[in-house]
Amino acid sequence: MGERLFFLDNRDGSHITRVFQLVLGVLCIGIAIYWMIFNIKSLNTDNNLWITIAFLILFGIYQILAGAGKTKKYIETGPEQIRLKQNSVLPAVTLKPGDIQKIEVYPISITFLLKRGGNIKLRFGVTYTDIIQPVKEEIVKFAGLHNILIEEFSE
């Protein structure tokens, strides 16, 4: 079983789109800095300006990360671990075979029940259905390789 990477979102971002995201991010941060410099006297009295500046900086950072390809959501399966990144801004979660008690496979989701308690649920949704079956097959292979209990449900 080799390493496989499955993207969980739209991966058709063209070069032009990524460049536009980078430019937009830099522009937002630049505008925020401009407002801070030229409205420095207003910062003490106007909370709305602080909120606007914080929003522009955070949005600019997100756009730069998106343009650089750092916000992609994915699941990566390998012989020794599963890496799962379900959120654009949070880091990926690494699941080792020793951490997983049981895997439950549903038609459009997979639940990893952990030995330390709790679970991690991977929801595919109905937008990109072409990746559901290949991901399920890789998860079943991973479970079989490491003798992890796996249950399949129809609903």
Per-residue confidence (pLDDT) for residue 3, from 0 to 100 = 85
Residue numbers in the chain where pLDDT is lower than 70: 1, 10-13, 42-46
C-alpha span between 50 and 44 (Å, rounded): 9
Per-residue confidence (pLDDT) for residue 43, from 0 to 100 = 56
> How does 35-72 read in b/e, with b if 16+ C-beta sit within 10 Å?
bbeeeeeeeeeeeeeeeebeebbeebebbbbbbeeebb
- Backbone dihedral angles phi then psi of residue 151, each to the nearest 5 degrees: -125, 135
pLDDT digits (tens, 9 = 90+) for 58-98: 999 999 998 988 888 888 988 889 999 988 888 889 999 98
Pairing of strands 100-106, 149-152: parallel
Per-residue confidence (pLDDT) for residue 24, from 0 to 100 = 96
Where along the chain do its domains lie?
A: 11-67, 73-152
Query: Which DSSP string corresponds to the chain?
Result: ---EEEESS-----HHHHHHHHHHHHHHHHHHHHHHHHTTTGGGT-HHHHHHHHHHHHHHHHHHHHHTTTT--EEEE-SS-EEEE-SSSSPPEEE-GGGEEEEEEETTEEEEEETTS-EEEEE--SS-GGGHHHHHHHHHHHHHHTT-EEEE---
Per-residue confidence (pLDDT) for residue 44, from 0 to 100 = 64
CATH class for the domain made up of 73-152: mainly beta
Per-residue confidence (pLDDT) for residue 7, from 0 to 100 = 84
Per-residue confidence (pLDDT) for residue 72, from 0 to 100 = 86
